[in-house]
């Protein structure tokens, strides 16, 4: 992605382009900001009213009343606009008072729009179920060998699916008989090292040994009805479909790639939640505890307390 920061003259009195966030956020994050800002601009009457805090408040009401977006999505869109205006003030494109007025625009209350939250947003996968899922691919086909390696990698690395599908062989590390992946995650400026099981590593090597093409990417795609192997990385949507297909074969419903990440967080937290935090790359342990540890409260915990 190539971003060009606009000139001061172009920015005068209008909402800036997210390109001014270059150096503050990863390019993938800026692409998300561009989509959110474009939606906000389409809502506003013109480019000038987009810099009025009242427009942001009206957009919040519009998103809550006229769409079925979840409260988390609405608040993410509002936060994108506020972050952009804050950075514009820091760079002198808008005044500080305007940025402060944007900051004071509240988001929607999650409880007020709770009905829009998906009941199956988080699917708890047990170790036994994960074993069935990872062994579901047919190893009589090249796709099966690739998908088996993909599933084992997701199930033992804690990586996001977007990080996994673009992995290259140079990101696969071996150290003192153990294996790791070196990835650059969301909103991260430095690579993090995350664990990889011996079984996942062996599955990757088995797939690469059988792959009929050479590519720097580990998980390459298949094209056309004949499933012709290519050197291109596996598409994100193909990984989603693979996860859902094998989950159904294993008798699981509503499984998403991110549930693999939550599986890793939940299982590592049994030993030490800080291990889960480090493996997942979270800055705050509260994020790990709130969103990635899915154990339910067991019965009998308060027996024999006195």
* Predicted pLDDT of residue 210: 96
CA distance 180 to 174: 6
* Predicted pLDDT of residue 290: 84
CA distance 99 to 230: 48
Calculate mean pLDDT across residues 19-26: 86
- Over pLDDT 90: what percentage of the chain? 69
Check whether 95 has a pLDDT greater than 60.
yes
* Predicted pLDDT of residue 303: 66
- Please tell me the pTM assigned to this model: 0.65
CA distance 33 to 22: 11
SS3 letters for the chain?
CCCCCCCHHHHCCCCCCHHHHECCECHHHHHHHHHHHHHHHHHCCCCCHHHCHHHHHHHHHHHHHHCCCCHHHHHHHHHHHHHHHHHHHHCCCCCHHHHHHHHCCCCCCHHHHHHHCCCCCCCCCCHHHHHHHHCCCCCCCHHHHHHHHHHHHHHHHCCCHHHHHCCEHHHEEEECCEEEEEECCCCCCCCEEEEECHHHHHHHHHHHHHCCCCCCECCEEEECCCCEEEEEECCHHHHHHHHHHHHHHCCCCCCCHHHHHHHHHHHHHCCCHHHHHHHHCCCCHHHHHHHCCCCCCCCCCCCCCC
- More confident: 187 or 134: 134
* Predicted pLDDT of residue 30: 87
* Predicted pLDDT of residue 304: 66
Check whether 116 has a pLDDT greater than 80.
yes
Calculate mean pLDDT across residues 172-192: 84
* Predicted pLDDT of residue 11: 44
Residues 6+ apart with CB under 8 A from 30: 1, 3, 18, 19, 21, 22
Calculate mean pLDDT across residues 192-204: 95
* Predicted pLDDT of residue 9: 43
Residues 6+ apart with CB under 8 A from 254: 120, 123
- Residue pLDDT, tens place only, 59-94: 999 999 999 999 999 999 999 999 999 999 999 999
Check whether 187 has a pLDDT greater than 80.
no
CA distance 150 to 242: 9
Check whether 5 has a pLDDT greater than 90.
no
Tokens of 26: 């990863």
CA 261 from centre of chain? 10
**Token pair 């939940």: residue:** 266
* Predicted pLDDT of residue 10: 42
* Predicted pLDDT of residue 83: 94
Pairing assessment for the beta strands 192-196 and 220-223 based on DSSP bridges: unpaired
| Residue in 32, 268, 240 with CA at minimum distance from that of residue 158 | 268
* Predicted pLDDT of residue 296: 61
- Residue pLDDT, tens place only, 136-173: 999 999 999 999 999 999 999 999 999 999 999 999 99
Residue-averaged pLDDT of the chain: 88
* Predicted pLDDT of residue 188: 62
- CA distances to 53, 86, 98, 155, 274 from 127, in Å: 49, 45, 51, 10, 20
Check whether 48 has a pLDDT greater than 90.
no
Calculate mean pLDDT across residues 260-285: 91
């Amino acid at each position: 992605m190539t971003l060009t920061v606009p000139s001061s003259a172009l920015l005068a009195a209008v909402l800036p382009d997210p390109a001014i966030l270059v150096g503050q956020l990863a390019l993938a994050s800026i692409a998300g900001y561009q989509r959110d800002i474009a939606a906000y601009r389409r809502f506003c009457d013109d480019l000038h009213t987009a810099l009025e805090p009242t427009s942001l408040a009206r957009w919040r009401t519009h998103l809550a009343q006229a769409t079925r977006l979840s409260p988390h999505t609405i608040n993410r869109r509002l936060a994108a606009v506020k972050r952009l205006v804050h950075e514009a003030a820091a760079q002198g494109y808008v005044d500080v008072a305007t940025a402060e007025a944007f900051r004071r625009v509240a988001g929607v209350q999650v409880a007020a729009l709770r009905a829009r939250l998906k009941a199956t947003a988080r699917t708890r996968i047990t170790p036994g179920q994960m074993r069935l899922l990872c062994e579901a691919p047919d190893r009589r086909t090249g796709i099966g060998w690739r998908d088996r390696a993909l599933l084992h990698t997701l199930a033992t690395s804690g990586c996001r699916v977007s990080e996994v599908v673009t992995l290259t062989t140079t990101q696969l590390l071996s150290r003192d008989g153990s294996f790791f992946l070196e990835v650059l995650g969301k909103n991260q400026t430095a690579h993090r090292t995350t664990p990889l099981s011996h079984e996942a590593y062996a599955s990757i090597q088995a797939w690469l040994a059988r792959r009929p093409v050479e590519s720097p990417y580990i998980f390459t795609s298949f094209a056309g009805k004949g499933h012709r192997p290519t050197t291109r990385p596996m598409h994100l949507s193909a990984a989603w479909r693979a996860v859902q297909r094998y989950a159904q074969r294993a008798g699981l419903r509503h499984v998403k790639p991110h549930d693999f990440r939550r599986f890793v967080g939940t299982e590592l937290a049994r030993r030490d939640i800080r291990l889960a935090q480090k493996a997942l790359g979270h800055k705050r342990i509260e994020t790990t505890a709130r969103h990635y540890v899915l154990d339910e409260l067991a019965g009998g915990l308060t027996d024999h307390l006195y």
